[in-house]
Amino acid sequence: MADGLSVVMETHGCKLNQADTQLLSRELGLAGYTVAQSIEEADVYVLNTCTVTHVADRKARQAVRAAKRRNPNSIVVVTGCYAQRSPDDLSSMPEIDLVAGNVSKPSLAGMIGNLASGPESACAVGSDEALAQVLRIRSRAMVKIQEGCDQVCAYCIVPTVRGRERSIPVDDIVATAKSYADMGCQEVVLTGTQLGSYGFDLENTDIADLVRNLLERTEVPRIRISSLQPQDISDDLLALCNVPRLCTHFHFPLKS
């Protein structure tokens, strides 16, 4: 599907988008892509967008135009929250070849392959090398543990573009963390939209149980938890702070 093609990825916005980009890197690597060092060298340019403000939308459009100027022959793909919220606006831009919202991210690698190689091309067998190349640049990997938000605040677009809350099973997260450790990653950051609600839709688990599983079942040197609400800190979670591999750092967002 993508034998010999190279891709460069750019990420705007939050750690959740960074986690999605790393997963997409892995999928593209397994599909036979290699990672280009610059847009000028890439066959495919993928922009993972943010849409939390109008400024973020403008930056995305500017990035797309700049990428096409630097490499007019590249295939330009836009995904992420802006693509989820305003696909028609982005599709109207002549520089863009494919728009795929957040709900399409799991199948994006195949969509890019079809666009790049055509329906008659054979599927190439790749490896994790694409993601490994990304992680050589950064020793920290983002691991998505949940997505979505059920708190529909009037001022916030996140529930619209990320959907309702849903948790990723513990075993899947452990497997992802192990794969990053095998690639030499020194730290994983647990990220999501509402980390404190992790496990509400799973049986007998919460974020403390997830962290305990990661500490016991993986050899990742450092595990860090991204943003939490103050009410999300439980006694069970605090008790795990005695384990040196868990970074004793909590980030609390404050709103006026």
Confidence of residue 31 (pLDDT cuts 50, 70, 90): confident
Q: What is the pLDDT of residues 133-144, one digit of tens each?
A: 544 446 889 999
pTM of the model: 0.79
Per-residue pLDDT band for 105 (boundaries 50, 70, 90) equals confident
Residue 212: predicted pLDDT: 97
* pLDDT, tens digit (0-9, with 9 covering 90-100), for 4-16: 789 999 999 988 9
Those residues whose C-beta lies under 8 Å from the C-beta of residue 147, and which sit 6 or more positions away, are 16, 162, 163, 165, 166, 168, 192, 193
pLDDT, the chain, mean = 86
Token pair listed for 162: 């990320």
Strand partners, 166: 147
Task: Read off the pLDDT of residues 39-97 as tens digits, 9 standing for 90 and up.
Answer: 999 999 999 999 999 999 999 999 999 999 999 999 999 999 999 999 999 999 999 99
Q: What is the pLDDT of residues 188-217, one digit of tens each?
A: 999 999 999 999 999 999 999 999 999 999
**Superfamily of domain 6-117 in the CATH hierarchy:** Methylthiotransferase, N-terminal domain (3.40.50.12160)
Q: Which residue has the higher pLDDT, 106 or 217?
A: 217
100 and 27 in contact (C-beta within 8 Å)?
no
Q: 246: which DSSP letter?
A: B
CATH 3.30.750.210 segments of the chain: 139-242
Which architecture characterizes domain 139-242 according to CATH? 2-Layer Sandwich (3.30)
**Could you tell me where in the chain the CATH 3.40.50.12160 domains are found?**
6-117
Please say whether the beta carbons of 113 and 159 come within 8 A: no
Nearest alpha-carbon partner for 141 in 87, 98, 88, 179: 179
